[in-house]
Chain A
Amino acid sequence: MQSFPGVGVSPGRITGTIKQMPRPLAEPPAGEKLAAGTDAATATAALQTASKAVQAELQARAATARADAKAVLEATALMAVDPMLIKSAVKLVNAGTSAERAVWEAAEAVAAMLVNLGGYMAERATDVLDVRARIVASLRGVPAPGIPSSDQPFILVAEDLAPADTATLDPEKVTALLTAGGGPQSHTAIIARSLGLPAVVAAVGIDQLPDGTEVYVDGAAGTITTQPGEAERAAAAAWAANSSLLSVFDGNGTTADGHLVPLLANVGGAADAVKAAAAGAQGVGLLRTEFCFLERDTEPSREEQVAAYRGVFDAFPGKKVVLRTLDAGADKPLPFLTDATEPNPALGVRGYRTDTSSPGVLERQLAAVAEAAGGSEADVWVMAPMISTPAEAADFAAMCTAAGLKVPGVMVEVPSAAVTSESILREVAFASLGTNDLTQYTMAADRQLGPLAALNNPWQPAVLQLVRLTVAGALAEGSGKPVGVCGEAAADPALAVVLVGLGVSTLSMTARSLAAVGAVLATVTLKEAQEIATLALSANSPAQAKDWAREKLPILAKLGL
């Protein structure tokens, strides 16, 4: 039996066999020639065989795919044998280029043409590049990049997952996520929580296990073991029986003694919002508007924006919806807003700061929000990401007022905003702690880097101190302005109790976590939560803070959280 300790980021106990995500495909070197002894005719035949094999595989996947994915897969299957693509690759082969390099360059040219056309065509360039990678993989006899397809459910193991992988991740097939890299705030963690899959990240060496190895995963404890025995199977069965109890939230976040803590949802669009409302969310604590901007070359029109925002507002009539204005930059680049050549994008022109480099985009977004809010029954609040100073808060509040938006607020993600929250809250109506970025900036640890996972942990006592300071600033300001949390920290039931104890008034999280957080919060009084928070603040390490808090919350072990 082998053990792989990692960082548990999404609870659940499960056994299953693993499949490794293939490594990204290396580009065939520029100028690569036909191998000695291979003539152009043989290489052309190999290329045609590979292109037909890729077509057949994509057609087979299209046959079992859902309607929306089916159309895309059918078109992609046709691209694999496209006469224009293959003819131009064969031309290169006839001039002496290797088959791999030929298809690489031919597809590059087609993709560039599509990108130049913009809009829908530009989005299809990704499909051409996907087909190219598959053909090259087939020529080399290695697995195609991307999430492996399988008839049987499996546990996916990867170095780390990118946001784009979410689209092809089928939660019916993938039962857990394990990564060798990544931290508690990495995309893998966010994807796992939103899909409700057990997940362990930063498990060094897990990417070396062969496909088909059976493992036991405990996503709360952060452990992975091979050759599961009777005890592990029993634990997995108990979790399966228990987890259905943790899937229902009654829509009433409160401590045992009736201190109300509204539990809100983080959403990225109307479809998410409808699901969150069905899961009992008491409103939206974070509407990530960049999702309607991502993968765009140009700014979406006002009509598009109004429709996208109203779709979310309409899911929560009479309830609060906190909209975060465009948060581009760092790991979410946008061609029309951010500079991809910045040496240090996490500390660069991102979030609210893009208003100085590309003025107008934010103003037009606020106008669209106001129009969407005007026609809806939701109570719309608006906040800016990456605010660092009271002056920025004041400028943002003035822009909101000019647009006719009544409740302006700020995200507290930069330590300077936490430290000066009293002055900042004089300028705006509320603050919301974005614990993911607050952690990476407090600890000076890139949230995407596996080796820094231990630093990049929202249980770090320094991060908890900044939460405490932000709340203290709001109290000192004197008019009772609320401070919420909308980072991943709020989805951890034990940490949620600590945050409430620190004086946070609302918690916003992925809708999947509402029931677990609600269930645990209902077992403690406000006074107990405050005591647990004091304990966590006095710890020397995130592990100690977490252990001390969990010791006081026996319900967690009982529920397998």
Chain B
Amino acid sequence: MSERKATVASSSGLHARPASLFAAAAGEVGVEVTIAMDGAPAEDAMDASSILSLMTLGAEHGSVVVLRAEGDGADAALDKLAAMLETDLDAV
């Protein structure tokens, strides 16, 4: 199991357009990626490719979240998605 922590950079948090862009990207990396707030138990992590999960996660600008994935390509996928979270997607 690989893990990355990332700080949400989008000014509106992980809602609206940033959530759409991130969910779409998470659906395309080829491995199942989960997302949870930093400090929350791993079994409560949610599917990162689900826009509805992202919206109910309640991650605001500046929140720290944990991404997890397993298997081939997990590290590359997590690097890509963590970098995306640390970009202000509202400004894209």
Residues of A within 8 A of B (CB): 71, 74-75, 78-79, 82-85, 87, 110, 113-114, 117, 120-121, 124, 128
Q: A84-B46, A84-B47, A117-B58 are in contact. Are A79 and B52 (CB under 8 A)?
A: yes
Smallest CB separation, A558 vs chain B (Å): 51
Which residue in A84, A117, A121, A128 is a CB contact (below 8 Å) of B53? A84
In the complex, what residues of B have CB within 8 A of residue A110's CB? 52, 56
Is B20 a contact partner of A82 (Cβ separation < 8 A)? no
Smallest CB separation, A310 vs chain B (Å): 24
Is B20 a contact partner of A117 (Cβ separation < 8 A)? no
Smallest CB separation, A415 vs chain B (Å): 47
B17 interfacial by beta-carbon distance below 8 Å: yes
Q: Chain B 15-52 against A: per-residue CB contact (8 Å), 1 yes, 0 no?
A: 11101100110000000000000000000001101111
In the complex, what residues of A have CB within 8 A of residue B83's CB? none
In the complex, what residues of A have CB within 8 A of residue B46's CB? 84
In the complex, what residues of A have CB within 8 A of residue B24's CB? 78
A-B contacts counted at CB < 8 A amount to: 50
Is B56 a contact partner of A120 (Cβ separation < 8 A)? no
Is B51 a contact partner of A121 (Cβ separation < 8 A)? no
Which residue in B17, B50, B52 is a CB contact (below 8 Å) of A128? B52
Q: Give 20 pairs: A residue, B residue, CB < 8 Å, sorted on A.
A: A71-B17, A74-B20, A75-B16, A75-B17, A75-B20, A75-B51, A78-B20, A79-B52, A82-B53, A83-B47, A83-B50, A84-B52, A85-B50, A85-B52, A110-B52, A110-B56, A114-B56, A117-B55, A117-B58, A120-B16
Which residue on B lies nearest to A116, using beta carbons?
A: B56
Is A82 a contact partner of B17 (Cβ separation < 8 A)? no
Cα(A93)–Cα(B13), bound, Å: 34
Contact-residue bracket for chain B: 10 to 19
Is B55 a contact partner of A124 (Cβ separation < 8 A)? yes
Which residue in B15, B23, B47, B49 is a CB contact (below 8 Å) of A121? B15
Cα(A316)–Cα(B17), bound, Å: 34
In the complex, what residues of B have CB within 8 A of residue A85's CB? 50, 52
In the complex, what residues of A have CB within 8 A of residue B19's CB? 75
Closest 9 CB pairs of A and B: A84-B50, A75-B20, A78-B51, A83-B50, A82-B52, A83-B47, A84-B53, A82-B50, A84-B52
Cα(A158)–Cα(B71), bound, Å: 54
Most A CB contacts (10 A, CB to CB) among B49, B51, B52, B53 go to B52
In the complex, what residues of B have CB within 8 A of residue A78's CB? 20, 23-24, 51
Most B CB contacts (10 A, CB to CB) among A75, A121, A124 go to A75
In the complex, what residues of A have CB within 8 A of residue B53's CB? 82-84
Most A CB contacts (10 A, CB to CB) among B23, B49, B50, B55 go to B55
Smallest CB separation, A123 vs chain B (Å): 10
Cα(A110)–Cα(B55), bound, Å: 10
Smallest CB separation, B87 vs chain A (Å): 17
Q: A71-B17, A120-B16 are in contact. Are A83 and B49 (CB under 8 A)?
A: yes
Which residue on A lies nearest to B21, using beta carbons?
A: A74
Cα(A117)–Cα(B23), bound, Å: 20
Cα(A120)–Cα(B56), bound, Å: 11
Smallest CB separation, A238 vs chain B (Å): 47
Which residue on B lies nearest to A88, using beta carbons?
A: B52
Cα(A120)–Cα(B53), bound, Å: 15
Smallest CB separation, B25 vs chain A (Å): 11
In the complex, what residues of B have CB within 8 A of residue A117's CB? 55-56, 58
Cα(A85)–Cα(B51), bound, Å: 10
Cα(A71)–Cα(B51), bound, Å: 13
In the complex, what residues of B have CB within 8 A of residue A84's CB? 46-47, 50, 52-53
Cα(A75)–Cα(B22), bound, Å: 11
Cα(A267)–Cα(B46), bound, Å: 44
Is B16 a contact partner of A114 (Cβ separation < 8 A)? no
Is A71 a contact partner of B20 (Cβ separation < 8 A)? yes
Is B50 a contact partner of A121 (Cβ separation < 8 A)? no
Is A120 a contact partner of B15 (Cβ separation < 8 A)? yes
Which residue on A lies nearest to B19, using beta carbons?
A: A75
